């Protein structure tokens, strides 16, 4: 467990974020390797089927992801305030919730896999493979959510290193299994899905064993778990807006998938390949945002508001540097990177255009994400939800639809940075009001509730 309420803010945030970043690099590396194997060994139709399936998978798990995040924020604030009994009760409550949520998602997902693909106007040649992939993934929801919850609990307590070790084991195992199942056993797209489920199950078991042996506070108990309705309501109040936000993002992805699907299998395969690289490119911003959330939660819980301001400034500088390097890389090497997944010239051309258009605006995305990390860490998750609604549903989807009808598939890609810009502008404006400081579960002393000035980096980013 790591106390983030004392010491150099930037150094603490970076040190906390790096293990998460390394872990997610491993995870995304698996995703890339998996897509390369699927795209090369099975073909572009299999690669497209995986891509067409992802929005559906994400939609059904999105709400639970948000609620779980709410518990993580509660844990970080209680830990910062040294309310250890409440820390334990929040952990117990989150474990009970995740267990039953996983079972419900599995049941719903198994039945909706094929109808959802049809609803998204997925090309007929992709339906069978997409259905198989989705059903296997939904069957593995319990270990997937179990490991994600254990990781969130540990991060809320300031431990970002331990989940990294288990994630590294899981990733290596995943790569070995997908190579075995697809290249040796010739199980096709089912082999890719089973490799992911098995690797997640191993990581979940390792996490449970570690908690039982190493942590008195977070030790899972099979008997005597306390489901605290009061804490559940607080976690729900914090996490539900984030969950709704994730659902809106997922449904937005589905709406965009319908647009992309209309351009055929080549476009879907290109979008899948570019999306894998895009997910890799934004990892620094996402992990810095998660680190800032925990940092903010602990420091608000301890009543140290000034450290939140300095932490935000440091995180913006760090994320800006990462974003500049990433933009340079994806623009310069876009075509060969897409060709790794599938060498079809049309797939490569479409994917490279995505990276060229979207990659130039990673600094906007990173600034937006780091800023919302502060809001979430403070427990103020309602405003980020509304910002998502506005930037996604009132900006990105309408603009992408309008531009796609006039300039083709590039129009879909241009909707991405335009929406990011709107999200950054709205987040910056809300941060400047200072209202987020009053949302914590541990109230701040009155003198600390004066509005903070917007850091210079945010003024430049906006």
Q: Which tens digits make up the pLDDT trace of 323-371? A: 899 899 888 888 998 988 878 889 899 999 999 999 889 999 889 988 9
Query: What is the pTM (predicted TM-score) of this model?
Result: 0.65
Do 226 and 128 reside in the same domain of the chain?
yes
Return the CA Rg of the chain: 21
Dihedral (Cα; 150, 444, 245, 146), 10-degree rounding: 10
Backbone angles phi, psi at 247, to 5 degrees: -65, -45
**What's the chain's average pLDDT?**
80
pLDDT tier for residue 3 given thresholds of 50, 70 and 90 = low
Do 90 and 237 reside in the same domain of the chain?
yes
- The residue behind tokens 């797939």 is 347
Average pLDDT rounded to a whole number, residues 41-45:
78
The per-residue pLDDT for range 186-195, each reduced to its tens digit, is: 888 889 889 9
Do 231 and 268 reside in the same domain of the chain?
no
Q: How many domains is the chain partitioned into structurally?
A: 2
Do 353 and 396 reside in the same domain of the chain?
yes
pLDDT tier for residue 2 given thresholds of 50, 70 and 90 = low
pLDDT tier for residue 218 given thresholds of 50, 70 and 90 = low
213 in any annotated domain: yes
2 in any annotated domain: no
Distance between CA 267 and CA 327 in Å, rounded?
A: 22
Q: Is 223 helix (H, G, I), strand (E, B) or coil?
A: coil
Average pLDDT rounded to a whole number, residues 165-183:
87
Identify the pLDDT of residue 152: 78
The Cβ-side half-sphere exposure at 231, using a 13 Å CA radius, reads: 25
Higher-confidence position of 289 and 224: 289
Do 212 and 361 reside in the same domain of the chain?
no
Q: Is a pLDDT exceeding 60 seen at residue 18?
A: yes
Identify the pLDDT of residue 399: 93
| Segments forming the whole domain that contains residue 384 | 263-462
CA 142 to the chain's CA centroid: 18
Do 278 and 235 reside in the same domain of the chain?
no
Q: Is a pLDDT exceeding 90 seen at residue 156?
A: no
Identify the pLDDT of residue 116: 85
4 in any annotated domain: no
Average pLDDT rounded to a whole number, residues 160-184:
85
Do 224 and 294 reside in the same domain of the chain?
no
Higher-confidence position of 217 and 53: 53
254 in any annotated domain: no
Identify the pLDDT of residue 451: 43
Average pLDDT rounded to a whole number, residues 236-244:
76
CA 118 to the chain's CA centroid: 26
- The residue behind tokens 């309602």 is 382
Do 202 and 321 reside in the same domain of the chain?
no
């Amino acid at each position: 467990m790591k106390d983030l309420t004392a010491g150099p803010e930037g150094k603490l945030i970076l040190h906390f974020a790096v293990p998460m970043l390394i872990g997610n690099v491993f995870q995304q590396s698996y995703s890339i390797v998996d897509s390369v194997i699927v795209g090369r060994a099975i073909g572009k139709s299999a690669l497209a089927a995986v891509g067409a399936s992802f929005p559906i998978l994400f939609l059904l798990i999105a709400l639970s992801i948000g609620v779980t995040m709410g518990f993580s924020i509660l844990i970080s604030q209680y830990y910062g305030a040294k309310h250890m009994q409440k820390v334990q009760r929040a952990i117990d409550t989150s474990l009970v919730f995740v267990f039953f949520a996983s079972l419900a998602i599995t049941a719903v997902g198994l039945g909706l896999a094929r109808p959802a693909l049809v609803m998204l106007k997925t090309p007929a040649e992709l339906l069978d493979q997409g259905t198989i992939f989705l059903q296997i993934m939904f069957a593995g929801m319990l270990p997937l959510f179990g490991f994600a919850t254990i990781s969130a609990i540990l991060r809320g307590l300031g431990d970002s290193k331990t989940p990294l070790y288990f994630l590294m084991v899981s990733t290596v195992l995943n790569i070995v299994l997908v190579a075995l199942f697809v290249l040796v056993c010739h199980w096709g797209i089912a082999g890719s899905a089973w490799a992911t489920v098995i690797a997640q199950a191993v990581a979940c078991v390792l996490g449970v064993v570690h908690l039982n042996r190493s942590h008195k506070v977070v030790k899972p108990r099979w008997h005597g778990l306390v489901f605290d309705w009061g804490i559940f309501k607080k976690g729900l109040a914090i996490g539900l807006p984030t969950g709704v936000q994730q659902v809106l993002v997922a449904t937005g992805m589905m709406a965009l998938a319908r647009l992309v699907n209309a351009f055929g299998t080549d476009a879907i395969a290109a979008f899948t390949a570019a999306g894998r690289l895009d997910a890799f490119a934004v990892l620094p911003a996402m992990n810095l945002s998660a680190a800032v959330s925990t940092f903010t939660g602990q420091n608000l819980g301890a009543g140290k508001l000034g450290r939140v301001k300095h932490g935000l400034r440091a995180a913006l500088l760090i994320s800006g540097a990462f974003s500049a390097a990433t933009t340079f890389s994806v623009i310069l090497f876009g075509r060969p990177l897409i060709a790794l997944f599938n060498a079809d010239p049309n797939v490569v051309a479409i994917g490279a255009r995505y990276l060229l258009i979207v990659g130039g605006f990673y600094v906007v995305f990173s600034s937006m994400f780091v800023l919302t990390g502060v809001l979430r860490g403070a427990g103020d998750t309602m405003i980020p939800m509304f910002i998502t609604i506005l930037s996604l549903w009132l900006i990105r989807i309408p603009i992408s639809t309008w531009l796609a009808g006039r300039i083709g598939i590039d129009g879909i890609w241009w909707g991405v940075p335009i929406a990011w810009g709107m999200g950054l502008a709205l987040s910056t404006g809300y941060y400047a009001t200072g209202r987020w400081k009053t949302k914590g579960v541990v109230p701040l002393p009155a003198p600390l509730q004066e509005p903070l000035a917007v850091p210079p980096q945010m003024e430049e980013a906006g």
